[in-house]
């Protein structure tokens, strides 16, 4: 049987180029990636690592349960190799967290807000190659103890988000942050547990002593504390104040952006400080004013 006359004119792309096209398409349009899996078995092999590069687990639980079943259907080495960003929200139970983290051992960007026993996750993630970490300190260390920032888990951390921290018993409680060798981006908040003295003592210290710090993001929903921040931050352009960690998005949109590979709250640190914004303007001491007013 002879081929139709036009068949010889259809260009044949080499497999390497085909793979590049599909992978780039999946990265540029994440919402289309699942459909690309249906093209051919070889395309599925190329696209699955792209799909699992960023995993966000949150309510509804149907999606969490589906991922847990997927963990059992593939070798652990697949997840260890390909999952690089992992977000476990407060909707994910501690047993699920431990199961996921025990398999996704190659995670570099970890957002872990799941409830856990005291120091329940520290032994589990100590050997993960973490570069970015968003977590409550009481998930790692006893509640009454000062965080131990000399722990090896912080050795290569460049972006650290300390979630809902409680006030320290003394000014030196957070001073260990200044010793993190690679820290360039620090976020703290929400600061509803903090008093004015915590702001005026701790924030200027961190700005002055964190040698490589490029951005300090403070999340604060309390107007009184915001005023304390504005009065104590001086003219340091590295400081950014947000009303919520997901500002300006609503929470579901923020999570979807994470799934699409965006930088979460860290994208605010990349914006140049301008004379004004669409919602407000910078006050005289370099802090963003009015965009977080209630």
Please tell me the distance from the alpha carbon of residue 255 to that of residue 251, in angstroms, as a whole number: 6
Q: How many residues does the structure list for the chain? A: 294
Task: Count CB neighbours of 51 within 10 A.
Answer: 16
Domain boundaries, the chain: 12-51, 52-289
CB 158 within 8 A of CB 180: no
CB 246 within 8 A of CB 233: no
Cα of first residue to Cα of last residue in the chain, in angstroms, is 75
pTM passes above 0.85: no
Each of the 294 residues of the chain gets a pLDDT tens digit; together they read 555 555 556 567 787 787 777 778 777 777 777 777 778 778 778 788 888 899 999 987 888 898 999 999 999 999 999 999 999 999 898 889 999 999 999 999 999 998 876 657 888 999 999 999 999 998 898 877 889 999 999 999 999 999 999 887 777 889 999 999 999 999 998 988 787 788 888 899 999 999 999 999 999 988 777 777 877 776 788 999 999 999 999 999 999 999 888 889 999 986 544 333 334 333 333 343 333 333
Please tell me the distance from the alpha carbon of residue 199 to that of residue 137, in angstroms, as a whole number: 18
């Amino acid at each position: 049987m002879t081929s139709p006359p036009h068949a010889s004119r259809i260009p044949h792309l080499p497999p390497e180029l085909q793979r590049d096209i599909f992978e780039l398409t999946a990265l540029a349009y994440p919402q289309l990636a699942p459909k690309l899996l249906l093209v051919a078995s070889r395309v599925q092999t190329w696209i699955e690592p792209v799909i699992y590069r960023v995993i966000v687990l949150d309510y509804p639980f149907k999606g969490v349960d589906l991922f847990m079943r997927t963990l059992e259907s593939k070798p652990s080495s697949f997840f260890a190799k390909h999952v690089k960003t992992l977000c476990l929200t407060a909707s994910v139970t501690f047993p699920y967290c431990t199961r996921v983290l025990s398999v996704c051992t190659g995670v570099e960007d970890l957002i872990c807000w799941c409830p856990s026993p005291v120091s329940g996750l520290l032994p589990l993630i100590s050997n993960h190659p973490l570069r970015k970490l968003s977590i409550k300190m009481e998930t790692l260390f006893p509640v009454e103890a000062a965080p131990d920032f000399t722990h090896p888990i912080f050795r290569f951390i460049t972006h650290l988000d300390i979630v809902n921290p409680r006030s320290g018993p003394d000014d030196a409680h957070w001073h260990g942050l200044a010793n993190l060798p690679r820290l360039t981006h620090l976020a703290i908040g929400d600061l509803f547990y903090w008093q004015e003295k915590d702001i005026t003592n701790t924030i200027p210290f961190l700005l002055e002593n964190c040698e490589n710090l490029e951005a300090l993001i403070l999340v604060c929903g309390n107007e009184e504390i915001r005023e304390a921040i504005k009065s104590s931050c001086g003219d340091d352009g590295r400081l950014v104040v947000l009303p919520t960690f997901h500002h300006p998005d609503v929470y579901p949109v923020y999570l979807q952006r994470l799934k699409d590979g965006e930088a979460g709250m860290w994208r605010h640190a990349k914006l140049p400080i301008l004379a004004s914004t669409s919602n407000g303007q910078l006050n005289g001491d370099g802090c963003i004013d009015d965009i977080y007013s209630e």
